[in-house]
Amino acid sequence: MHTHHTGPLARLLGLVVLLLTLLGAIPAHAADPVVHAVLFFSPSCLHCHIVMEQVLPPLQEHYGAKLRILTVDVSLPNGQALYQTALTTFAVPEDRFGVPALFIGRDMMVGSEEIPARLPALIVSTLAAGGNDWPAIAGLESWLSADAPSVAATSAPALSPFQRDPLANGLAVGLLLVMVGSTLAILFRLRPPFDWTMPTWQTRTIPLLSIVGLGVALYLAFVELSGASAVCGPVGDCNTVQQSSYARLFGVLPIGVLGVAGYVAILVAWALRRMGGNIADLAANALPILAFLGTLFSIYLTFLEPFVIGATCMWCLSSSALMLALLWLTIPKHVPEVRRGKALRH
């Protein structure tokens, strides 16, 4: 009878087997938590471009593989069908319809204001809770099995700034052409000697237009300084313009405040012009100069909207039109020189 002694090698193998057994018993969810979300977008949606090009990329870069966002194009038939299924599944009210729409679990965010306001905190809380699964939307499996790209790999098809809102941007281009054409026409016909007299209707119209322009500028200054949402009409997107980097001159001075200063200066010059004396002459000269500078700056701002920002603010176009009208009203008329002399005899 032989006695077998357990050697060091056998004990080591037994320890390895025990460790492997324990590791196999560790649940799969001990891996790093991941946030899963679905973003519905449209290529022609300006707010979708803002979210996909400005809001999500920094978050994706920060969280990396911990954030997976599936993008679904609602302009495609199957994308629209999935979007409608999501609306029905989560009983989304009609006033919340629209894109960009981001679903995380049972949470839904809509628009280029709500998504950046709520998403960062929601990512943090979801990761702290151990991550989440894809939203329970019937038909989503086919998008996932097709290995659809995430937002880290793709974005909405690129559109030129003008194409993001053709109607409003077309209005801006039309006004831009009128302002440039008017400025060139005024420069062409502007030559001394000048007639500084104005008819009564013209004298009264200048302060009226200036006060209206001052009201517009005050409202824009309030929006820019307070961060409040502007009241926009059915055409254009004032908030996108006001939230852009071009809403502040040199990144510091709000454009609305600059507009307030301009209209106040025109009103002061108009009032001094009626006082008589040397101060009246200086004010008469200052009026067209102020209106001309205001029109040039309005041309610059109006150009930015359709060709750089990709959105047009109707408040801004109104101010530009008012400034152009003030330019036409304040420009002095040319008085032909009277030549005196004896008539030639033949």
- Listing DSSP states for 104-156 in one string gives ETTEEEEHHHHHHHHHHHHHHHHHHTT--PPP--TTHHHHHHTT--BTTT--S
At 152, is the pLDDT very low, low, confident or very high (cuts 50, 70, 90)? very low
The backbone torsions φ and ψ at residue 35, rounded to the nearest 5 degrees and listed phi first, read -95, 125
Going by C-alpha positions, the residue among 301, 291, 296, 297 that lies closest to residue 322 is: 291
What is the model's pLDDT at position 158? 59
Range in 43-47, 225-229, 335-339 with the lowest mean pLDDT: 335-339
From 145, 172, 204, the end of a domain falls on 145
pLDDT in tens, 102-147: 999 889 999 888 899 899 999 999 999 999 999 998 888 888 876 5
At 25, is the pLDDT very low, low, confident or very high (cuts 50, 70, 90)? very low
The alpha helices in the chain, defined as continuous H runs, are: 8-24, 46-50, 56-63, 77-89, 111-128, 140-145, 166-189, 200-226, 238-242, 255-273, 278-304, 314-330
What is the model's pLDDT at position 74? 86
Range in 20-24, 64-68, 257-261 with the lowest mean pLDDT: 20-24
The backbone torsions φ and ψ at residue 235, rounded to the nearest 5 degrees and listed phi first, read -120, 135
> In 10 A of CB 88, how many CB atoms?
11
**Is 26 a member of any domain?**
no
Q: Quote the number of domains for the chain.
A: 2
**Is 307 a member of any domain?**
yes
From 120, 145, 170, the end of a domain falls on 145
Residue 79 shares a structural domain with residue 169: no
**Is 12 a member of any domain?**
no
What is the model's pLDDT at position 15? 59
Assign 56 to helix, strand or coil: helix
Residue 103 shares a structural domain with residue 222: no
pLDDT above 90 covers a percentage of the chain that reads 38
**Residue whose tokens read 């001309």:** 292
- Does position 151 have pLDDT exceeding 50, yes or no? no
At 31, is the pLDDT very low, low, confident or very high (cuts 50, 70, 90)? low
Range in 87-91, 265-269, 291-295 with the lowest mean pLDDT: 87-91
- Does position 154 have pLDDT exceeding 60, yes or no? no
Residue 170 shares a structural domain with residue 299: yes
**Is 4 a member of any domain?**
no
What is the model's pLDDT at position 213? 96
Q: Is the dihedral of CA 192, 198, 203, 206 positive or negative?
A: negative
**Is 236 a member of any domain?**
yes
Task: List the domain range (segments joined by +) for residue 131.
Answer: 31-145
**Is 105 a member of any domain?**
yes
CATH of the domain at 177: 1.20.1440.130
- The arithmetic mean of pLDDT across residues 162-189, rounded, is 89
Going by C-alpha positions, the residue among 294, 287, 298, 226 that lies closest to residue 218 is: 226
- Does position 214 have pLDDT exceeding 90, yes or no? yes
Residue 94 shares a structural domain with residue 183: no
What is the model's pLDDT at position 264? 97
User: Taking phi first (over 0 means left), then psi (-120 to 50 degrees means alpha), and beta for anything else, what does residue 105 get?
Assistant: left
How many degrees, rounded to 5, is the angle at CA 326 between CA 185 and CA 288? 70
At 21, is the pLDDT very low, low, confident or very high (cuts 50, 70, 90)? low
What is the model's pLDDT at position 235? 83
Per-residue DSSP letter, 332: P
The token pair at 81 is 């069908």
What is the model's pLDDT at position 344? 47
At 296, is the pLDDT very low, low, confident or very high (cuts 50, 70, 90)? very high
